[in-house]
Amino acid sequence: MKEDNMHSKKIVSAAFLLTLGAFGAFAHNGIEHIMGTLNAKSETSVTVKTVKDILVTVLLDPSTTYSYNDKVSTLGALKPGERVVVNAKDDSADKLHAVSIRWGANSTSHADHDDHTKP
């Protein structure tokens, strides 16, 4: 009887954690935060070296926004070696597309959560 009670508690705990995890993904509306140093850029993508030394390439769209020190900026102003925060969404082919790229002293992953409402 004691084992059945423990088993039930484990199932309830696991279900709670799965629900909590699903809520976290929903709360971010599918946005991934890629933080690190800009390794390379082109007109169509940026590559960020994360703090874990992983290179992540993110595609750029005409709707991608750029912000330096909380002011509107451009891709041209972004230089390799800059610390960046890229907020990106997966597309249907599992490729990341940048919603916004922020850099400068005021950049954090959560400063532009309004961008989570962009399609």
Which residue is associated with the tokens 């249907």?
Answer: 92
Interacting residues of 43 by C-beta distance below 8 A, sequence separation 6+: 60, 75
Write down the domain spans for the chain: 30-117
Which helix (H) or strand (E) is 2 found in, with range?
helix 2-27
Count of alpha carbons within 13 angstroms of residue 50, beta-carbon side = 11
DSSP letter, residue 76:
G
Average pLDDT, the chain: 77
Q: pLDDT for 55-105, tens place per residue?
A: 999 999 999 999 999 999 999 999 999 999 999 998 888 899 999 999 998
Identify the architecture of domain 30-117 in CATH.
Answer: Beta Barrel (2.40)
